[in-house]
Chains A and B, each alone.
Chain A
Amino acid sequence: DIQLTQSPASLSASVGDRVTITCRTRQSISVYLQWYQQKPGQAPELLIYLASSLQSGVPSRFSGRGSETDFTLTISSLQPEDSATYYCQQSFSPVHTFGQGTKLEI
């Protein structure tokens, strides 16, 4: 299985801050990388697909970049409701995998 390594594991930021979360793989996955947001007690929600495409209905303060082995999720101006855990997920292989998550506290 393709391993995904997210960093940092957790971070604390303030409303209005710009934050970036990183997801790395050891092998190239082209742009087959997604980002999800999960709040306590809820199922994950899709934010970004294919590295940089914004899912319908997701605020434009969320953006994704990257290709091959290095990817980032950026939240341009943090809002209180962005407090959550964020996961990356690869789909280059038919055996999908998730990163270990980044917990964001605001």
Chain B
Amino acid sequence: QVTLRESGPALVKPTQTLTLTCTFSGFSLSTSGMCVSWVRQPPGKALEWLARIDWDDGKHYSASLKTRLTISKDTSRNQVVLTMTNMDPEDTATYYCARTPPPSSSWYDFWGRGILVTVSS
């Protein structure tokens, strides 16, 4: 059974760094073609793709946010970590992690429930 769960702070202050952890089970990120991505959704707005980490430690970032994002993985602990620097109130959103399975690494078949992060002083 595949599950993903996001964890991290519900509230951060402007200019702080956000660290989110995606803990998953039911698959291994060392499997060829497996990827985990982060997607966010501001309240009432559309989904926004943020970043992806691949089984071979390949990393990909949204062009508009790449200077603020870092994604990493701990395969032994089944975790993917996303950090976002210099948080702003406009970064208030529900943050999701999702799995992209092999072979094509194209679609998201399992998602976490999401974590709402509010940026406010």
A46 to B63, CA, bound (A): 24
What secondary structure prevails in chain B residues at the interface with A?
loop
Give the residues in chain B near A98, CB-CB below 8 Å. 39, 46-49
Give the residues in chain B near A89, CB-CB below 8 Å. 47, 49, 107-108
Q: CB distance B106 to A95 under 8 Å?
A: no
Distance in Å: Cβ of A43 to nearest Cβ of chain B = 4
Q: CB distance A43 to B112 under 8 Å?
A: yes
- The residues of B with any CB-CB pair to A shorter than 8 Å are 37, 39, 46-49, 52, 58, 60-64, 96, 98, 100, 104-109, 111-114
Interface size on A, residues (CB 8 A): 23
Give the residues in chain B near A38, CB-CB below 8 Å. 47
A94 to B37, CA, bound (A): 11
A96 to B96, CA, bound (A): 14
Give the residues in chain A near B37, CB-CB below 8 Å. 96
A99 to B39, CA, bound (A): 13
A50, A95, A101: the one contacting B47 at CB < 8 Å is A101
Interface membership of A81, Cβ < 8 A: no
Identify the closest chain A residue to B47 (Cβ): A98
Give the residues in chain B near A100, CB-CB below 8 Å. 46
Interface membership of A71, Cβ < 8 A: no
B58, B61, B106, B109: the one contacting A32 at CB < 8 Å is B106
A32 to B100, CA, bound (A): 13
